[in-house]
Each structure stands twice: as C-alpha cells, then as structure tokens.
Structure 1
Amino acid sequence: MDLFAGCGGITLGFATAGFELVASVESDPWAAQSHGANFAAISRGRNRQAHNNPYDINCEDPSSIFRDLGIDGPVDEQVDVLVGGPPCQAFARVGRAKLRHEAHRREEDDADVAFLVDGRVNLWQRYLHYVRETKPLALLMENVPDILNHGGKNVAETVSEHLRREGYRVRYTLLNASWFGVPQTRERMFLVGVHEDLDEDVVFPSPTHYSVLPAGYEGTRATARKLINAMHADAEHSHCWIGDPLEEDGLPPATTAGQAFADLPPIYALDMLESGRIARGRKDPSEPVGYTSATPTTPWSKLMRKWPNFGATDYTTGHVIRYLPRDYKIFRMMEEGWQYPEVWRFVEEKRRQLMDSRWESGEDKAASTLQAQAFVREWTLPYDPGKFPNKWWKLYRDRPSRTLLAHLGKDSYSHIHYDDEQARTISVREAARLQSFPDGFVLRGSMNPAFKQIGNAVPPLVAYAIAMEMRSMIGCRPAVDIRHELLSLDRRPDPATERGVEKCGF
C-alpha cells in the first residue's frame, strides 16, 4: 500500500520487484489519475477504477479505501508492505522562506516559525495510524534530509521510536539516487522497518554506481552525520551511515544527462519559434514522438525503453517543452553549469554591448526610444541574483543532473538543456528519464501537472533497489534483477555497501 503515492515512483519500483499493489492514497487529482492509469490494471480489488480516485489521508482510513476498491477481509490482513513519503515541503529548507512569507502576509503570530507549525509536518502521524491499522510485515518511509533537523528535532528518530513500540526493527539513512544509476544527485532520507517477529535485520541496498557529488552535498552529509552523533551519543537510535561509494570499489560511474537523453529527438526551440511551431498554450504530455534510433544506444536508454511492462517500442510521449520566447536566445549562450548569477551578469553585459552598438547619436529619437525599450525588455532578467541564485541552471552533458523538484510544475529554468543548439529547458519526458520513469509510463494532465508529479516522485529505480532487499527481509523467493540485463551491472557484491551495512547491523 502506497501512502502519499503521487504518480507512483515507489509503486513502480515495488511492482517491478514483484509486489502487487493493494491500494494507494494520493490527494492530488492529476497524480491520482496518473497512478491509476499506470497501475489500476495490475492491482487488487473488484473495483479497479477506484484506483484513479484521489483520497485525503486525513479523512480516509484503510477500511474505507478497501471498501471503495472492493477488497474484502480484515484490514490487518491485506498489506505486507506499507510505503510512502509524507509531503516534504514543510521539512525542506528551500520551502521555509516561502512558508514564513505567506504566514507574515496573513499576519499570523507564529509567522517566523511557520515551518514548524505547518500542518504537513505531522502527516507522519497519519502514516503511523496506517501502520497500526494494516500491521504490515515491513515498511518504507522517504523524505528530505532536513527531516533529521527540523527546528532542532530529528523527526526521523521520533518516527523510529514510535515504530519500535509497534514492534518494528527500524533503520534510516541518507541515500543518493546517483548511487543506484539514476542520472540525478537526489539525496533523500529512507527509513526501513521490519517486524521483529520475522527476526530479520534491516538491510539497505548496495550502491551500484559511484558519483562525485557537488560540494554542497558533502557539507550537508557531514552536517547530518555530526548532528546524529551529537544527538544520540548516549542513547539508542535507529540511524545508520552508509559511506559514499568510491571509484576504487570497482563500480561504474554515475549515469550522465547525456546518456539519459539518448535516443530522444532534438527540439530546436529557436527554429520552432521562428517558424511558428511553438506558441503559448497547453502542451499535451500524451503527444507521441519517435526515437532517433531503432535500438537503444546507451544502457540508460535501454532501461527506459525496455523496463518490464512499461517499455516503449517505436515511440514515447511527453517530449514537449515550455514556451519561453525571451529566453531561448539566452539559453543558447549559456555555459554548462551556469546558475542565475552568472546568467544575470552575462545578460547585463550583453545588453550594454548591444545597446552601445545599435543606438548611437543621430538616429530618429522617437523610433529609437521605442526600439530601445522593446530591446531592453528582451534582454533583461527580472529576478535579483542575490535572492534567486538557483533559479536557473544549465545541465552538464557529462554529469548527473541536480535534484528535480516539484517547482518544475511552475517553471523549468532549474534544468536547462546542455545542448546550445536546442536552446531550451528540458521536456517532460527528459525530466521523467532523469527521475528514472520509463518511457512507457504515462502522465495525466497538461504539462505543468506532469512536471510537478515528476518532481515530487521518488525515483523508481531507487525504490526498486530497496524493494529487492525487502523481498529477502520478508521471506520472498529470490527474483531476477532487471538491472543485470538492462544496465549490464556486475552481480558481485561491492565493498562500499559492505562497509555501510556493517554499521547498520542490530
């Protein structure tokens, strides 16, 4: 059962590992429809259409959801594994400023600590309620690293304490998606529990790739480790630490953006703008598009095109982009890795140079003034570079992408395509590939809801890695690992994970 399911990142990982979907709980209508579109046909219950329904976890219990789905029998005998990621916005540091701003606008007394009193902070308690109701053999919770220090409180440890009282052995750690082949340096907290009656240890999956993380990640991980050690030096705690996988461990390097986008046709935004083939208005993520190669050209494109039950043969969907007529020309001139401050300085200097060369004395002043005003609008970026340093970013071709966020649903400047000639932000399908959603996975709604669903999701390949470990924890038979064939991964155990697992034992 998948709580806070979104469009189904965790569900896809677990379904691919052989688990059967019982039910999902998701309040966003478009995300719920995407989830149903992909999983209703392979789920339980007489009324599979109900898998498309949005459910508010604050208002629904497992029993009412099971009734809607036509699932009979005791509630506590339906679910072997409970999974879910409570909304992370209230925990994430990037969202705290917005919460404060909105609270001040409403003139609330506790506006300065709005992130501490946001109602979403306590949704983990509803997760615990579902644990008590369904009594699963094992469970998984995902969230942002900042859940380890929410106003000085380690919420993950609080959850662990409650779960231990319910009879579960629990461990949580930080895992980076790039360690598991995902072309994205997404760092998240994963908490795994297994019921003590099974007498099994909690084991996290072995990293399959090594990745050189950007400098900011090293600082975040060091801070988290220091905090954990300080808070729990003299007390029982559930945290474990998995060391970064290294090149000398014999692992392949992380998947790059260039490898991730292989076989998807180029989209030349400036050419489309000039010819009138792109305009403002709704973009349809269900629009089909063919590949540039009859067979996959990289291991990642092979995985995306041949993922079991979600592969694609001759075409995929969702390769659509935003209409940004002012900025295509700027995207073309950006260098890989540039963020907003570099772009802003470049545009300011470019405008000055162009103004100096085009508007000289002696021209018709009236015409010149109007032209100059229009020109300035076309060469001015509206945001303060001191306040929005991460608003723009151009991908590196030969590195993983940085983290995709739900903000993709509002704009995509955080992920600008590395190819100068294409001069655009990434498409919906490219975002899906960076998140490890295969090419046969469909998204309901227009472009904005589709981007939001992708940014909110747990990478399916990370969920799959955890699900494969969980199979053994609850006594399932061994299963064929799709990564061996589709990603050509070595089957031998890797030393990096052996170091980490030893530190997580009971």
Structure 2
Amino acid sequence: MNVIDLFSGGGGLTEGFLRQGFNTVAHVEMDTHACSTLRTRLFYHILKENKIDDYYAYLNEEITLGQLFEDNCEILNLPASSIINQEIDSDSEKNIIKQIKELIAIQDISHIDGIIGGPPCQAYSCAGRGRAYENMKKDPRNYLYKHYLSFLKEFNPDFFVFENVPGMLSAKTDIEIFPDFERNVKKLGYNIDYELLYANKFKVLQKRKRLIIIGHKDSKNYFDFSFDKKNNFEVWDVLNDLPKLNPGEGNDSPVAYTNKISRYLKETNIRTKRDIVINHAARNHNANDREIYRLVIKAWNNNHQRIKYDELPKELTTHKNKKSFLDRFKIVAGDLPYSHTIMAHLSKDGHYFIHPDIGQARSITVREAARLQSFPDNYKFEGPRTSQFKQVGNAVPPLMAESIAEKIKNNV
C-alpha cells in the first residue's frame, strides 16, 4: 500500500507504517535536521534485508553517512529523493504536489492508498491557547489542516491518518477548527472515526494522549479503536542498561550497554543483540539546579511526593513567578508503569524530565527520551542535540504508529 507522509518530523509515524510493509512514496518536512534523521532511517529499512552490516558500520562510526550512501547509491537514491525538505504553505503547496507526482511516476504507481501525518500541534496546545486571540487568529499553524485537505483532494487516497493534540477538538479562531475539518473531509467523500488514545495502551512506557482521526471511503466501514496491549513493566526497564552519566558527560558516539537487556526492551525490539548506545549525552546543569533535582528525586523515591516550586527552600528558587507552572521540576518516575508526556520543550531545558537516579542528578538524554517514546536504539537522530530533542518530543511513538498501521492494513 502506497502512502504519502505529510509533516513527517523525525519519522515516528512513518516508522510504524514501514514496519507493516507500507511503501512511503514521499515525505514532506520543513526541518532540515528532521529530514536528515528520516533519511538515515529510510536507509536502515532499505539495507536491513541484505546489507545491514553497512548500516551498523555507520552507527559504529566506521564509515560516514556519505560513504554509506556512495557504497549503496543504486538502492538508496530513491528513498533519499523521496524526502521533500519544504514548508507546506500557500506558496509551496503546488510545487510540493508536483514533486510528489514526479515521485509517483518514477515508481510507476497508479494509485495512492493513503495519506498520513499531522501538522505541528503547538497552536492547538494549552500553551498556544494562552496567547491573545488576535495572535492565535494570525498564526498560520492553526490553518495547516487546510493544506492537508488540499493533498486529500489532489491524490484522493482510500484512507488517511491525521494525528494531533486533543486540543484540536476544541480549538477555534474565527472558525471552529475540528468541525471545519470534519465538514471538508466529508465533502471529499470521507467518513471519519476519531479517538483520544493514550500511548501506554500500546506498550509505550509513557502516558501520551493524542487525537487520532481515521478517514475512509467505505460508508459501512468504521475504524476499531480498541487497543490495549498489556503492560507489566515500569520506566526503570528502559533506563537500567544505559551508561550512567554526570551532567555534561556522553555524546552521540557509540558506547556499550552497562547491563543485560530487560524483558521489555527485548519484547518491543527497542534493543537487539546487534545494537549499541548512541545519542546518549547529558546536558550541563548548574549546582543550584542539581540540588533541586536531588530534592525532587528524594521526595519521590521516599514518599512518592511531587515537590511544587513554591515548596522549595527559598535559597534555591530563582524565579519570581511562584503562582503558575509550579511543577516545573519533575522526576521521570522510574517505579511507575509509564512516564509523563515527553515533549519538545526538552530542547529548552530538562527540569521537567529529571532522571530518577539521585546519583546522576541530571535531566534525561535524547536516547532515554527516545526509548520512552518507543524508538529503537538503532534509530539515529541527526543534527544538534536541541533538534534531536525536538524530533523526539514531537513524534508519534513508533509502537503506537505500528499498531494503527497494522489495523489499517487489515481492515480499511
């Protein structure tokens, strides 16, 4: 089944569909570093059958990405060219559609089966709602769904998957966003089913809540959202085998695991026998923040207590605002079956994502965040660390995406 992936990010949704045998004809993403990550991952999927040694040679820094491509250019050229690094807006829409049609022609594809993706969600989030109405109204991100509609109209796929934050259901500017989206997809001939889904129902060790909208042409068909994969694990199961780091230690380069593979990592294929640790670098923290981290960790480990900012010793508080966002320092609780939601805000600071080990007293790394999102260890995030955190935080968890893709393959 052939799909177009819009607003691809670092490829979390794509990953799930690739695992289920879908052919991603084209990917459209505005962020250059996310495109690099996506390109590397597409190389993995192409090489995994017969030339996986070459891919791991790159992960182990035995060859460069350029050498990997040069040595396998005949089979990697198409996936590389399938990534369109452009922002979707009124000026670029027609050109992007033209490029996708060229990719369809190159692959001799007669029909696009599906379109997947979800536009950036910041405008529909609680933080986005906090801005003045006029600023919300002028924010072009609020209207990116209209471009999604244009692609549906142009390519007329049998189904689509639209992913976003729950806030889209109630978001409004001069119009109510979701009702307008629903009216327009019905005009294009689609019936929709939608649900608010928690990632932990897909064996992801994170309680991430997302809106999933499935569109299909069959009026008698409906999408069954009954997902509930049993989870008998806890957050420590994704952290315990990774090297311990002090603030400022580690880097993107490969290092060895420090413990045996946990049952969770094995069952989910997050870690395999061939894998190594990459993207595992701790950001620097000042002494004041580390002292706060220790207090937060101790309070949770001893009493399962979350410390609010206004409860900290006065000598440790540096922010004047002590009336809002009081849980700005938050532990990723190791003894719970899931963490709180991993967000792109990780790129700015790690205070909201403190590692549960008091001996390390730091925020989580890109690899730790990626594991909580269910990305496998052989999924390499490209670009600077700030971008890597954004890519992870904005992604659909691959285990969640794979379950949705599997059900679509079998039922839509």
Quick check: TM above 0.5? yes
User: Is 1:186 the equivalent of 2:226?
Assistant: no
2:87 aligns with 56
Q: Is residue 88–residue 144 contact of structure 1 (8 Å, CA) maintained in 2? A: yes
Q: What is the rounded CA distance, in whole Å, between the counterparts of 1:328 and 1:147 in structure 2? A: 37
Q: Could you tell me which runs of 5 or more consecutive residues in structure 1 were left unpaired when the two chains were aligned.
A: 101-110, 210-251, 270-277, 352-378, 475-506
Q: Is residue 34–residue 52 contact of structure 1 (8 Å, CA) maintained in 2? A: no
1:261 aligns with 239
Q: Is residue 32–residue 51 contact of structure 1 (8 Å, CA) maintained in 2? A: no
Q: Is residue 90–residue 116 contact of structure 1 (8 Å, CA) maintained in 2? A: no
Q: Is residue 35–residue 51 contact of structure 1 (8 Å, CA) maintained in 2? A: no
Render the CA deviation track for 1:38-78: whole Å, top value 9, x for unaligned: 11564799643324551222214454323665743788x34
1:385 aligns with 322
1:212 aligns with none
Q: CA deviation at 1:260?
A: 2.2
- Partner of residue 405 from structure 2, selected from 467, 471, 479: 467
Q: CA deviation at 1:85?
A: 0.9
User: Is 1:445 the equivalent of 2:407?
Assistant: no
User: Is 1:163 the equivalent of 2:124?
Assistant: no
Alpha-carbon distance change, 439 to 205 in structure 1, aligned in 2, over 3 angstroms:
farther
User: Is 1:319 the equivalent of 2:353?
Assistant: no
Q: CA deviation at 1:442?
A: 0.7
Q: Is residue 312–residue 439 contact of structure 1 (8 Å, CA) maintained in 2? A: no
- Partner of residue 25 from structure 2, selected from 13, 22, 26: 22
2:121 aligns with 88
Q: What is the rounded CA distance, in whole Å, between the counterparts of 1:449 and 1:126 in structure 2? A: 25
| Corresponding residue pairs, total | 370
Q: Is residue 156–residue 191 contact of structure 1 (8 Å, CA) maintained in 2? A: no
1:144 aligns with 165
Q: Is residue 260–residue 301 contact of structure 1 (8 Å, CA) maintained in 2? A: no
Q: Is residue 141–residue 191 contact of structure 1 (8 Å, CA) maintained in 2? A: yes
Q: Is residue 36–residue 52 contact of structure 1 (8 Å, CA) maintained in 2? A: yes
Deviates most, 163-172 or 461-470: 163-172
1:32 aligns with 35
What is the RMSD of the two structures over their aligned residues, measured on CA atoms?
A: 2.6
2:198 aligns with 176
SS of 1:183 mapped into structure 2? coil
Q: Is residue 7–residue 35 contact of structure 1 (8 Å, CA) maintained in 2? A: yes
1:297 aligns with 262
Q: What is the rounded CA distance, in whole Å, between the counterparts of 1:29 and 1:140 in structure 2? A: 24
Alpha-carbon distance change, 413 to 15 in structure 1, aligned in 2, over 3 angstroms:
same
Q: What is the rounded CA distance, in whole Å, between the counterparts of 1:304 and 1:408 in structure 2? A: 25
Q: Could you tell me which runs of 5 or more consecutive residues in structure 2 were left unpaired when the two chains were aligned.
A: 47-74
Larger gyration radius, structure 1 or structure 2: 1
Amino acid at match of 1:315: I
Amino acid at match of 1:7: G
Render the CA deviation track for 1:359-386: whole Å, top value 9, x for unaligned: xxxxxxxxxxxxxxxxxxxx44335231
TM-score of the superposition, structure 2-length normalised?
0.82
Alpha-carbon distance change, 173 to 328 in structure 1, aligned in 2, over 3 angstroms:
same
